[in-house]
Amino acid sequence: MDTVILSLKSYRKNIPITVGNEAFRRLPLPHTFQEFNIDPIKKEELDNGTEPPPYKIKIIPTGLYWLAALGLVTAQMSALTNHFADRKRLRSLSGILLQTQYCGWGSRALEAIEKDDFVIEFVGEVIDDETCEERLEDMRRRGDKNFYMCKVKKDFVIDATFKGNDCRFFNHSCEPNCQLQKWQVNGKTRLGVFASKAIEVGEPLTYDYRFEQHYGPEIECFCGAQNCQGNMSYV
């Protein structure tokens, strides 16, 4: 269970994941490769020689979650201020509202991204199927609405619930601007998010969850796309 995908070397152990409220609990996660101290995918590791771009995304609170976060910040101002200041994450609370008001937090592009650019890697704890089921059960019991697991293969589920990067905030869209791709890098399977079209500054970053199995209950989709399939279930 402690095996963390890629070179996740010194993940901070002091992240308060025990706070009851889910929205609050999700806020203090590390949000940059630097904070995470992981090596991003390197150019030479990609078969097609794609140059990984500099950090290009930003987390924004959206819709109702933004209001919820604001309320929590008011209530927990002192603790949060220290916490965020420590992680230089105050910027995260000043984002714009997105139209996807019912999808919770989302990521948006900080700068223009070209089609086929490598955007970010989906990282998290690597857990087996049994642990995954246990965690899912815990989440159901807690009434969690957001799920951050992606099954790569048998007994290889990447769980970004407790340890993850900004990729865990990419929402699903039936008309996404990114695509999740499976890569073999030095013998390891890794998931990379690549731009499937040119993306403008400020655009929400999304991919189709149905590429791989994202765990969780059948959730109604609010992506707002014309071709919306209605739910985010893997088919």
Using CB under 6 A, list all residues that contact ligand SAM: 26, 65, 102-106, 145-148, 168-169, 171-173, 216, 219, 221-223, 232
> How far is the C-alpha of 122 from the C-alpha of 193, rounded, in Å?
7
Q: Tell me the closest approach of the beta carbon of residue 48 to ligand SAM, in angstroms.
A: 26
- E-assigned strand segments in 100-231: 106-109, 118-122, 125-127, 149-153, 156-159, 171-172, 178-185, 188-195, 206-207, 213-214
Position of tokens 């650019």? 117
Return the exposure string of 102-123: e unless at least 16 CB atoms fall within 10 Å of the residue's CB, then b.
Answer: ebbbbbbbeeebeeebbbbbbb
Of the pair 41, 69, the CB lying nearest ligand SAM is at 69
> How far is the C-alpha of 90 from the C-alpha of 233, rounded, in Å?
34
State residue 127 phi and psi, 5-degree precision.
-125, 160
Position of tokens 């200041």? 85
Q: Which two tokens stand for residue 232?
A: 């985010």
> How far is the C-alpha of 133 from the C-alpha of 38, rounded, in Å?
27
Of the pair 50, 210, the CB lying nearest ligand SAM is at 210
Q: Tell me the closest approach of the beta carbon of residue 10 to ligand SAM, in angstroms.
A: 24
Q: Tell me the closest approach of the beta carbon of residue 47 to ligand SAM, in angstroms.
A: 27
Q: Tell me the closest approach of the beta carbon of residue 139 to ligand SAM, in angstroms.
A: 10
Of the pair 51, 137, the CB lying nearest ligand SAM is at 137
Of the pair 46, 224, the CB lying nearest ligand SAM is at 224
Q: Tell me the closest approach of the beta carbon of residue 209 to ligand SAM, in angstroms.
A: 7
Task: Give the residue closest to ligand SAM by C-beta.
Answer: 104
Of the pair 24, 194, the CB lying nearest ligand SAM is at 24
